[in-house]
Structure 1
Amino acid sequence: MKPNLVIGNWKMNGDQQTNEVLLRNVLASQTNEGHLEVAICPPFPYLASVAAHLQDTNVVLGAQNLSPATHGAFTGEVSASMLRDIGCRYVLVGHSERRALFGETNEVVAQKFAAAIEQGLIPVLCVGETLDERRAGITNSVVTTQMTAVIKHAGIEKLTRGVIAYEPVWAIGTGETASPEQAQAVHQHIRGVIGSFNKQAAIDLQILYGGSVKADNAKALFSQPDIDGGLIGGASLDAASFIAICNAARINPRGTA
């Protein structure tokens, strides 16, 4: 079984001085104990400096986005090969903010997922429903459609080489959090969809929860049998909170205390 995974998504936050202090504190807390991998996804301008801080540590580098194109006249875009070249291991794909604010469709997200795989990156496919969709009782349908777009474009084998992060849109940055039982139900559904194609792949697949994870709710979330860690937004900008979340994931590999 793969280790639990905690990814800090800094979004559009930080500066050189703040980043250095945050990383120094986070790195000082990391040990080789427990079944856990930790990744940091800073804004693009800070990838190189964060990569330098992470060198020779057990924390890895990720990026927040990528272009589906390999190269060319795409001003402002960054390719998968560029991210790999600078040392990224992970890249977020289809975050709800990319879908809602920048119009990324399921098809575009699928193309980005495939581009990441082709260059040896591990894409973190973000899926999740809005509040209206949850109230309409179509959460599972929405999540399945988002995953199916990747399966149709890249195939089930490539999908299972990535990571899936369930992030209920209504719980991102709002202070609201899906209850451990609500999150577990969707994670179980996701694993079931993958299991309909490949049972072993479903067992091995890392499925993260993202949506206002905090130090005080992380243990309850990570104790659920199908939750393998978290995609952490705001709390990743506070060293003490992020360290506590990592520790909760370290002592709770897939539902064990």
Structure 2
Amino acid sequence: MAQPRITLGVSLKMYFGYQQTLAWSQEVAAIARVHPAIESGEVRLFILPSFPALPPVLEAFAGTKVVVGAQDLSWEDNGAWTGEVSGVMLAEMGCGYAEVGHAERRRYFAEDDVQIAGKLAASLRNGLTPVLCLGEPGQGPAEAAIALCRQQLDASLNQAREQQLSGHIILAYEPQWAIGAATSAPDDFIGEVCHGLRQFSGLGNFTFSVIYGGSAGPGLLSRLGNRVGGLFLGRFAHQSSALKTIIDEAAALSRQPQEASWPQA
């Protein structure tokens, strides 16, 4: 599948209840059905609801170009893993994406490099596009952030390499210090780090795209221009009207020359 010019993702985390998730999904689906950039594939939108809402959300977006995925998955495909959800089941349901390695999973659920690598491999093994979250805990220079993200990526690919897997991976750069903050990280900082992440290559039979998350909202994509491949959105997309604004920004950006805003190497 050809990769879009701009990728937008929304994780609903655990903010919405069941009915609120369905109402929001229906509103966004109505937007997606008539938005030229979504329909043409220039802008790809994926939605990650809570596990119990996956079946009706998949139904809400049926007939649109929006792809539904999960906020987590097990590193195993089946077996005695109480409370876990496998990539096999997610793929069977019709999911296309799986989020892996979010900072909250690392911090609150003690997910380590081995578990994250297992989940990334499980995603690829089952035909799901991993949304691999990378980011440094504290604010510092862009060069340090890039170096740490490279270490995280290397560790996350270990099992996929061992299993000789391949596929496309979305690198969601989310500096941990910007998650839940009042504003995103500084624009120039985001641009510099995402440009650095785009240079990752030679890490196996994988292709990468880079999106930014961490208090991302309306206006950010227009300011960043082509320095980023899209956004990973949270609470600032809880209003469907705000998400519509961001989709419009992505559509405008997709019509610009692709390398116009990137710094020279």
TM score, norm. by length of structure 2: 0.86
- Contact map agreement 1:175 1:212 (CA 8 A) in 2: yes
Residues in 2 aligned to 1:175 and 1:105: alpha-carbon distance in whole angstroms? 28
In structure 1, the partner of 2:238 is 237
In structure 2, the partner of 1:248 is 249
- Superposition pairs of residues 77-88 of structure 1, within 5 angstroms: 77-88=84-95
- Alpha-carbon offset, residue 21 of structure 1: 2.3
In structure 2, the partner of 1:155 is 161
The alignment status of 1:171 with 2:171, answered yes or no, reads: no
- Alpha-carbon offset, residue 147 of structure 1: 0.5
In structure 2, the partner of 1:6 is 8
- Alpha-carbon offset, residue 60 of structure 1: 1.2
In structure 1, the partner of 2:211 is 208
Matched to 2:109, the amino acid is F
The alignment status of 1:187 with 2:206, answered yes or no, reads: no
- Look up the SS of the partner of 1:67 in the other structure: coil
- Contact map agreement 2:124 2:167 (CA 8 A) in 1: no
Deviations 1:74-132 (A, max 9, x none): 11100001111111000100011111111111221111000110011111111001125
Question: Which is worse superposed, 63-72 or 99-108?
Answer: 99-108
Question: Which is worse superposed, 212-221 or 44-53?
Answer: 212-221
- Contact map agreement 1:151 1:159 (CA 8 A) in 2: no
- Alpha-carbon offset, residue 224 of structure 1: 3.2
- Look up the SS of the partner of 2:97 in the other structure: strand
Matched to 1:14, the amino acid is F
In structure 2, the partner of 1:127 is 134
The alignment-based identity, stated in percent, is 30
The alignment status of 1:108 with 2:110, answered yes or no, reads: no
Residues in 1 aligned to 2:235 and 2:259: alpha-carbon distance in whole angstroms? 24
Question: Which is worse superposed, 19-28 or 39-48?
Answer: 19-28
- Alpha-carbon offset, residue 65 of structure 1: 0.2
Residues in 1 aligned to 2:192 and 2:113: alpha-carbon distance in whole angstroms? 22
Deviations 1:5-40 (A, max 9, x none): 111100012223312321222122224523111111
Structure 1, gaps ≥5 residues long: none
Residues in 2 aligned to 1:159 and 1:189: alpha-carbon distance in whole angstroms? 22
Aligned positions, number: 250
- Contact map agreement 2:125 2:165 (CA 8 A) in 1: no
RMSD: 2.4
- Alpha-carbon offset, residue 70 of structure 1: 1.0
In structure 1, the partner of 2:24 is 22
Structure 2, gaps ≥5 residues long: none
- Structure 1 residues 189 and 135, CA, compared in 2 at 3 Å: closer, same or farther? closer
Bigger RCO (CA 8 Å, 6+ sep): 1
The alignment status of 1:219 with 2:222, answered yes or no, reads: yes
Matched to 2:232, the amino acid is L
- Contact map agreement 2:91 2:126 (CA 8 A) in 1: yes
Residues in 1 aligned to 2:172 and 2:213: alpha-carbon distance in whole angstroms? 6
Matched to 2:60, the amino acid is H
The alignment status of 1:62 with 2:69, answered yes or no, reads: yes
Deviations 1:36-57 (A, max 9, x none): 1111100001001111111111
- Structure 1 residues 160 and 190, CA, compared in 2 at 3 Å: closer, same or farther? farther
- Structure 1 residues 40 and 136, CA, compared in 2 at 3 Å: closer, same or farther? closer
Residues in 2 aligned to 1:119 and 1:101: alpha-carbon distance in whole angstroms? 26
Question: Which is worse superposed, 52-61 or 18-27?
Answer: 18-27
**Residue among 37, 40, 44 paired with 2:51:** 44
